[in-house]
Structure 1
Amino acid sequence: MTNKIEITSIIRKRTLGLTFVLGAASLAFAQEKINISGKITDKQNQAVPYASVTFSNKANKLFSDATLSDEKGEYKLALAPGNYDITIEAIDFKKSTLNKQIRTPGNLGNFTVEAESSSTLAPTKDIEGVTIVAQATKPYRVELDKKVYDPSTDLISKGGNLQDVLSNVPSVSVETDGTVSMRGNSNVKFLINGKPSALLGLDSGESALQSIPADQIERIEVITNPSSKFEASGTAGILNIILKKAKGMGFNGSVTGSVGYLPSTNLNTNLSWKKGNWSWFLNGGGGYRESQGENNSDTRFFDPTTLATTQYLEQNSLNKSQNKNYNANAGFNVDLTEKTSLNVSGMVRGSNSTNNNTVDNYGFDAARIQNSYSQTLALGTGKGISAQGDVGLDHKFDDKGHNIALSLSLQRNQNESTENSREFDAGNFIYGTLGNNNTVNKSVIGKIDYELPVGEISKLEAGYRIDNNTNDYDFLNRGTDINLNYNVLNDYSGNTVYKEMINAGYTQFKSKVKNFGYQVGLRAEHSNINIDYLNLQGNSSSKTKDYIGFFPSVFLSYDLGSTSNQLLMNYSRRINRPRSWFMIPYPTSLANRQNLFRGNEDLNPQYIDSFELGYAIQKRKFTINPTLYFRHEKDDIRMVVLSETPGSNVLITKPFNIGTQDQYGLDMNFNADLLSWWKIMGSIDLFGYNSKGTFFDAEKMSKPLSFDGSGFSSRFRLTNSFRIDKTFSMQLQGFYRGGEKTASSESKPMYVLNFGANKTIWNGNGTIAFNIQDIFGTRARNVVGFGNNFEKEQYMQWMPRTFNLSFTYRFKQGEKVDQPKKKKDINANDQGGDDQGPPM
């Protein structure tokens, strides 16, 4: 408890100190302003809500500002007197511009905008999609090659972390063990601001999702079928997490603190300052979190010839963990000239954790009579530090979209862990292991993206990217006898060095012919991978894998009257390179000697051909986006569970390339304003699969294990948002996951219900939020697994019911909206959108 108080105190002092300094600086540049107001209407004199209204001062851009109209189409703003170009943008309406001299305070009257017409829309925008950087009317929108989720309206994840946010993102699911999947596929590629990031860890992104606070996330881009501009890895698709940066002129910021149960505390801040050609941002904070999970299994072993039961093994596992983490993300952007800008940023993340895992092992004979009992106590500790530095240079050759962007990213991630495991029989110590693991990941990423307009409606894009990754794994495992004499386990100790060099180039062309838009591209990637393994027994191996892959992509769209009513069709080819720790040939943990994981250094990448046919209608009151998809995977990577030796009750899990798999389904996302006080957002995923493949190990198996099988399953999510009054809102969310059966496992259905509430106070400067995750404690997974000589029933609950209460204070929130400098800059300079090219 003392440590928690100290961490919170340190963060609070530093945050308030920085807030005071930046706040004082911003006052020094304050200018006398006058209050103006107005209203945005259509040609029928009806109010246009949530329109972006930008005032650009023609004499001094420091006085420029922007705002949004409210539900009645009205807006208010404080401006310095002067001559302004006024730009108005709203969904389903044409962009409108006018000029006005503002001398005195008062109402500027009505500004009228015209409903959009497909014959006069700018074709390039139709293809790229227009992103207004402001509070969106809807939390979800569809663009040509991605879907964008805005978490600012998500009450259920307030005070939480990235993992909580992902639980609410359409087309995305978070499994009970924390694994993130898209449309039932867990091979998801994570990006931060458009590139792999040390903030998530270079090798296993999911394990670090809890370290990124929800309050620091600007938006999430869901890319189920990435174009050739994006890196080709990740067969399920890409989740690009865009973090907050500087917004609005002057000083802006917020501080969020939260407490929860199971015990958790967090304090995070988002600060930004923009003046002249410079903008700075600082996001950071820290927290403490406890978690508790159950993993219980009942395994029946049998003779594979007669199918007669030989023995039973029941294991009941309870894991309790504590985690302390901190993170900081800071940087600046400066316009060196009117056409050239430089951006520099740095990130750091640290964590310390302890895990206490208790496993009760019960042995039974064939008649289910208990004949043995032992208990395993495993205490683990871990600490990690990640750092990343980025620098980018953007240059515009003209104002027509002729651009070039260069960037370099240096990343380092180090994790150290210990694991002390002891096994007792009837209270007597019989065996123990002590493991020390040290992993260092280093990465250098360089890329260049070039864009060239071709005529008025077309664009050619090309680029190059290099990834140089080195992962160094050191494992030292020791075993002890009943006299506590520790001896090094040479077979389970050693070093693996994984080196990966990927060179990639791409080109793509986009254009539009009347209502028909298209984008075609080709990406080539050369992969060179070296794996050197040496254990203390003296066994060594060296593997080299060298291959070239070509990854085409095609995106087609057809406007059914307007760009808010479209048919979308696309195709892409993807690759899944095995993660480096999938290729470590010895167990990384010996805490549970009955269930071990070994890597396979002979793993090859798997390839996927992905097709989608979708429809998107996006109106002011609702959005509907049904998508039919089909995927064909070859060299599919499957986890095979084997007995260590015939008749042994020690199970080894190991990945292998096995056969092919076809996946097909309907993924439908929607949101609607049913009433002025009731909004819904939902997703439906109905999917089927057909797998083919066999596996046989003559030394450990009496007959081949078949992976042939087919099945059908479903996932449903519905979020109801209720606005009680102007300052108070509530959300109720339900999630259902249907049962699923494969050739090697069968899982039972699961449902979850969550609740959130949000109260705004202090004239909009403060917000109190409360949420309950898993109201009925049903977020658990029941699975039956089948092997060559066993059948295993397993129950796993990753996290019990939790409560969270948070408070957010915002300062200088009158300046919320970015200034769209030119047509190309409507998407913020965050490396997240299609224009910025996270992608390479």
Structure 2
Amino acid sequence: MIQTEITRILTRKSLGLTFVLSAAAMAFAQQKINVSGSIVDQQNNPVPYASVSFSNKANTAFNDAALTDESGFYTLELVPGNYDVTVEAIDFKRRTANKQISTAGNIGSISVEAESSTTLTPTQNIEGVVISAPASRPYRVELDKKVYDPSQDIISKGGNLQDVLSNVPSVSVETDGTVSMRGNTNVRFLINGKPSSMLGIDDGANAMQSIPADQIERIEVITNPSSKFEASGTAGILNIILKKSRRMGFNGSVTGSVGYLPNTSLNTNLSWRRGNLTWFLNGGGGYRRSKGVNNYDARFEDRGILKQMLTQVSDSESKNEMNNFNGTAGMVYDFNDRTSANASISFRTYKNDSDDSVDNKMTYNGIDINNTDFDFPLSKLRNTIGTNQNKSFQGDFGLDHKIDDNGQLISMSLSLQKNLSEGESGITELRNNANYGFDQTVNNTESNTIIGKIDYELPIGENSKIEAGYRFDRNQNDYDYAVWNNGIVNPDFTSVTNYSEMFNAFYVQFKSKIGEKFAYQLGLRDEISKVDVDFKNLVDQEPAIDKAYNNIFPSVFLSYNISDSGQILLNYSKRINRPRSWFLVPMRSYSNNDNIFSGNPNLNPSFVNSFELGYSIQKRKFTINPTVYFNHEEDETQMVNLYNFEKSRFETKPFNIGSEQRYGLDMNFTYDPFSWLKLMGNLDLFGYKSEGDYQYTTLINGVAAPANISFDGNGFSTRSRLTTTFRIDRTFNVQLQGFYRGGTETSSSKTEPMYALNLGASKTIWDGNGTINFNIQDIFDTRSRSYYTFGDGFERKSFMQWQPRTFSVSLTYRFKQGDKVEQPRRKRDTNLEGGDDEMPPM
């Protein structure tokens, strides 16, 4: 005990404190020795900023504590004796181990287990004491996933989930809002470990824009999921973990933002914890406007309609206005040290108003639009005004029970979800400058989902564990789509369809270690699925679909620590790509009758075998994680562009093409060369080869003409992203992010490269309780894409820009109660100076 503390205690002249002083003086008189050690996770990765408390069993006056550094290492001085060592760290379960300390030196490492991401179970904290420290790196590598922390991402502050995903390593957001991982768009989204109605039914882009970035705690990038996860998604899984506070007392934050193109939002995260009960409330709303362009220039061969070349030029512009509101309220109650329950209710609603116009012109031998000697129109001007309203509700319930003190656990959860989507539009069309008619569309969808899970963990000895579980999924989608042309029902674009799917899944995993360096995880998953589709068309009755599958999905994960900071990772898994519900429904999109999408009831699932070999180095200033990967997919599903010469329009339809191989190098790194400069980068070099064929039937001059088209494509492309953060002073940071996406080419398409630059700035105010953020997305207005499509008898060049340059300003205010464990009075890491919800100064 230091001299100033002894003086202060003596002046109080209290008998009780005098006793404490005597005990402390006795401890001070004991000979202390230097003790060091490290805290690691179950994959032997260091756990930074963990609290390590030493409780002497013979004399509490000998107790002491330390906080690990970035490398998970700690050091302190202790009196020799028998100690209970308690380790606590954010996102990890509390652990207590016993250590007999007799000599100076390193007492070895203590392993802690990560908290489950599929429940709302809180970290077990010492009463009234909470550890609070931001992550030392924006992402960390674990055995079966990478974890990205958006708190240090200035550019997405005040934005939404889509903005955050644009900055996540190994993830890309296309110009139309489509999310891909390593160039593959078959991504499975989860929220808190399970599918969620919050992400909509078939309108993922709008749904992601309605989830505020301020409510996201972290994103788990699972490129090769283990058997514990559902097998859907050949590209992998993105698990979005939403915030929940673990502080005592009443805590929270409020964030408001405004920007252009006009967008505003106001969101809050609130929590209240007292004793065994925690309440939390997250919610908010906003308004967003967007606009995009999509133009193409197409040329067609002689197919009997005309005897010479025909050219078609189409210019389209879309304008959208969206209002969104969302809220989540829930509670966690700890019955005792072994059992806790959680419950939450969520809702999200958004309304999207759109105004789309398409200007379509055809030319032939120089004939202008005033010549009307031909049956087909030489010019069309089409305008669509529509509205879509989406509402989703979700109730989650969970129970977690610690069976014994050896780590035997059981968790149960139930999720009830409902999603309603109602859309309608009015379409006017001018042909050759004359009024052609008025069309109306109605598109209503209802989805009801039940998900039940049971997970069990059984430790075996110090280094092994068995995990097993069961999951039940039931999803019912009802589609009602209708089109009226001048008040008359159009049977080609009208359908009523009931889609039902049911899954029963069982899994078992075994984890263990051999020695101190080698760890492995073996898993097996069995999924029994049944899909029923009942077409209740108003005119033509399609045959119903009844499909059942029973598939086995193995997974293997291996890791070897070649040094304290270096680790080799090797893994394998088998995955499935089940056709999305609306891919099986043969209804067509009618917002633009020159470009039609229709489903394919004959689609079958595709399967992929995925291999990864990675190497992870984690130093104090530098981390790098290069991963070589190879995927082989059978019965691959691809969107095929066709041209209907009989009806003069493009039609897009999914087909099971054949097989595809993808291979590449995915490398993520961070580098902090100076205290004022941080770098984070991602580089993906990938190649691909597809081969197969598809069959379809077209009409030429009213005669059916079956066609069998071979598909053979291969190529190599790149994707890269670099984020640079500058610390101007302790409270002011500036961030620049640039990305480049290389072109791709197959036998039926070619895509040009794309690049963009974003800027963000963050200023901490009000003694750390407030933050002002400013960002510009796409500074030079270059985030657009040019691509070419080649098909049977046509060639088309297209241009797309989904959103022009935007900027926004946001203000965050934090209020909090409850004590924090402060870092010991030694050389502090400057990364620990920031608040909980902001990027810390560098």
Matches of residues 361-376 of structure 1 in structure 2 within 5 Å? 361-366=360-365, 372-376=378-382
1:390 to 372, 385, 396: 396
| Alpha-carbon distance between aligned partners in 1 of 2:135 and 2:646, rounded to the nearest angstrom | 60
| Alpha-carbon distance between aligned partners in 2 of 1:410 and 1:366, rounded to the nearest angstrom | 61
Deviation at 1:428, TM superposition (A): 2.4
2:465 to 435, 459, 464: 459
Q: Residue 812 of structure 2 aligns with which residue?
A: 808
Q: Residue 711 of structure 1 aligns with which residue?
A: 715
Deviations 1:476-507 (Å, cap 9, x if unpaired)?
Answer: 21111xxxxx1112332231000000000000
* Distance of aligned partners of 1:293 and 1:759 in 2 relative to their CA distance in 1, 3 Å threshold: same
RMSD after superposition? 3.0
SS of the residue 2:337 aligns to: coil
Do 2:627 and 2:666's aligned partners in 1 also have CA atoms closer than 8 Å?
Answer: yes
Q: Residue 92 of structure 1 aligns with which residue?
A: 71
| Alpha-carbon distance between aligned partners in 2 of 1:499 and 1:730, rounded to the nearest angstrom | 50
Q: Which amino acid counterpart does residue 403 of structure 1 have in structure 2?
A: L
| Alpha-carbon distance between aligned partners in 2 of 1:309 and 1:685, rounded to the nearest angstrom | 45
Deviations 1:258-307 (Å, cap 9, x if unpaired)?
Answer: 00000000000011111111111111000000000000011111137999
- Flag structure 2 segments of 5+ consecutive residues without an equivalent: 1-33, 38-45, 80-100, 118-122, 124-130, 372-377, 700-704, 824-842
Q: Residue 291 of structure 2 aligns with which residue?
A: 292
Q: Which amino acid counterpart does residue 545 of structure 2 have in structure 1?
A: K
Q: Which amino acid counterpart does residue 551 of structure 2 have in structure 1?
A: G
Deviation at 1:198, TM superposition (A): 1.2
Q: Residue 770 of structure 1 aligns with which residue?
A: 774
1:121 matched to 2:109: yes
Do 1:452 and 1:461's aligned partners in 2 also have CA atoms closer than 8 Å?
Answer: yes
Do 1:760 and 1:768's aligned partners in 2 also have CA atoms closer than 8 Å?
Answer: yes
Do 1:247 and 1:817's aligned partners in 2 also have CA atoms closer than 8 Å?
Answer: no
2:425 to 419, 427, 431: 419
Q: Which amino acid counterpart does residue 348 of structure 1 have in structure 2?
A: F
1:510 matched to 2:511: yes
SS of the residue 2:620 aligns to: coil
1:742 matched to 2:759: no
1:799 to 790, 803, 809: 803
Do 2:49 and 2:72's aligned partners in 1 also have CA atoms closer than 8 Å?
Answer: no
Q: Which amino acid counterpart does residue 577 of structure 2 have in structure 1?
A: N
Q: Residue 535 of structure 1 aligns with which residue?
A: 537
Deviations 1:441-470 (Å, cap 9, x if unpaired)?
Answer: 110000000000011100000000000000
Q: Residue 13 of structure 2 aligns with which residue?
A: none
Q: Which amino acid counterpart does residue 631 of structure 2 have in structure 1?
A: R
Moved more, 667-676 or 536-545: 536-545
Q: Residue 432 of structure 1 aligns with which residue?
A: 438
Q: Residue 832 of structure 1 aligns with which residue?
A: none
Q: Residue 39 of structure 1 aligns with which residue?
A: none
**Identity %, equivalent residues:** 55
* Distance of aligned partners of 1:135 and 1:764 in 2 relative to their CA distance in 1, 3 Å threshold: same
| Alpha-carbon distance between aligned partners in 2 of 1:127 and 1:387, rounded to the nearest angstrom | 26
Matches of residues 269-288 of structure 1 in structure 2 within 5 Å? 269-288=268-287
Do 2:226 and 2:523's aligned partners in 1 also have CA atoms closer than 8 Å?
Answer: yes
Q: Residue 77 of structure 1 aligns with which residue?
A: none
Deviation at 1:431, TM superposition (A): 2.5
Do 1:559 and 1:566's aligned partners in 2 also have CA atoms closer than 8 Å?
Answer: yes
SS of the residue 1:707 aligns to: strand
Matches of residues 197-212 of structure 1 in structure 2 within 5 Å? 197-212=196-211
SS of the residue 2:214 aligns to: helix
* Distance of aligned partners of 1:798 and 1:368 in 2 relative to their CA distance in 1, 3 Å threshold: farther
| Alpha-carbon distance between aligned partners in 2 of 1:449 and 1:551, rounded to the nearest angstrom | 18
| Alpha-carbon distance between aligned partners in 2 of 1:803 and 1:818, rounded to the nearest angstrom | 37
Q: Residue 175 of structure 1 aligns with which residue?
A: 174
Q: Which amino acid counterpart does residue 244 of structure 1 have in structure 2?
A: K
1:475 to 476, 481, 493: 481
Moved more, 252-261 or 535-544: 535-544
Do 1:247 and 1:818's aligned partners in 2 also have CA atoms closer than 8 Å?
Answer: no
Q: Residue 18 of structure 2 aligns with which residue?
A: none
Q: Residue 544 of structure 1 aligns with which residue?
A: 546
Deviation at 1:355, TM superposition (A): 0.2
Do 1:86 and 1:99's aligned partners in 2 also have CA atoms closer than 8 Å?
Answer: no
* Distance of aligned partners of 1:56 and 1:807 in 2 relative to their CA distance in 1, 3 Å threshold: farther
Do 1:518 and 1:554's aligned partners in 2 also have CA atoms closer than 8 Å?
Answer: yes
Matches of residues 512-591 of structure 1 in structure 2 within 5 Å? 512-514=513-515, 515-562=517-564, 564-587=565-588, 589-591=589-591
Q: Residue 85 of structure 2 aligns with which residue?
A: none
Do 2:695 and 2:708's aligned partners in 1 also have CA atoms closer than 8 Å?
Answer: yes
1:635 matched to 2:635: yes
Q: Residue 825 of structure 1 aligns with which residue?
A: none
SS of the residue 2:543 aligns to: strand
SS of the residue 2:379 aligns to: strand
| Alpha-carbon distance between aligned partners in 1 of 2:411 and 2:438, rounded to the nearest angstrom | 55
Deviation at 1:809, TM superposition (A): 0.4
| Alpha-carbon distance between aligned partners in 1 of 2:366 and 2:396, rounded to the nearest angstrom | 63
Q: Which amino acid counterpart does residue 778 of structure 2 have in structure 1?
A: D
Do 1:123 and 1:512's aligned partners in 2 also have CA atoms closer than 8 Å?
Answer: no
| Alpha-carbon distance between aligned partners in 1 of 2:722 and 2:218, rounded to the nearest angstrom | 20
Deviation at 1:255, TM superposition (A): 0.3
| Alpha-carbon distance between aligned partners in 1 of 2:391 and 2:357, rounded to the nearest angstrom | 28
Deviation at 1:422, TM superposition (A): 1.1
Deviation at 1:537, TM superposition (A): 0.9
- Flag structure 1 segments of 5+ consecutive residues without an equivalent: 1-41, 59-80, 101-112, 481-485, 820-840
* Distance of aligned partners of 1:133 and 1:388 in 2 relative to their CA distance in 1, 3 Å threshold: farther
* Distance of aligned partners of 1:92 and 1:459 in 2 relative to their CA distance in 1, 3 Å threshold: same
Deviations 1:196-222 (Å, cap 9, x if unpaired)?
Answer: 011112455344100110000000000
| Alpha-carbon distance between aligned partners in 1 of 2:467 and 2:222, rounded to the nearest angstrom | 19
Matches of residues 661-700 of structure 1 in structure 2 within 5 Å? 661-700=660-699
Q: Matched residue pairs, number? A: 732
Q: Which amino acid counterpart does residue 402 of structure 1 have in structure 2?
A: Q
Higher relative contact order (CA 8 A, sep 6+): 1
| Alpha-carbon distance between aligned partners in 2 of 1:413 and 1:382, rounded to the nearest angstrom | 13
1:404 to 398, 410, 428: 410
Deviations 1:766-793 (Å, cap 9, x if unpaired)?
Answer: 1000000000000001000011011111
Matches of residues 54-453 of structure 1 in structure 2 within 5 Å? 86=65, 88-94=67-73, 120-122=108-110, 134-303=133-302, 310-366=309-365, 372-453=378-459
Q: Which amino acid counterpart does residue 508 of structure 1 have in structure 2?
A: Q
Bigger Rg, which one = 2
| Alpha-carbon distance between aligned partners in 2 of 1:168 and 1:182, rounded to the nearest angstrom | 12
Do 1:141 and 1:623's aligned partners in 2 also have CA atoms closer than 8 Å?
Answer: no
* Distance of aligned partners of 1:761 and 1:133 in 2 relative to their CA distance in 1, 3 Å threshold: closer
Q: Which amino acid counterpart does residue 89 of structure 1 have in structure 2?
A: T
Do 1:127 and 1:512's aligned partners in 2 also have CA atoms closer than 8 Å?
Answer: no
TM-score, scaled relative to structure 1: 0.83
1:51 to 49, 52, 63: 49
1:621 matched to 2:621: yes
| Alpha-carbon distance between aligned partners in 2 of 1:206 and 1:271, rounded to the nearest angstrom | 27
* Distance of aligned partners of 1:784 and 1:185 in 2 relative to their CA distance in 1, 3 Å threshold: same
SS of the residue 1:234 aligns to: coil
| Alpha-carbon distance between aligned partners in 2 of 1:118 and 1:99, rounded to the nearest angstrom | 12
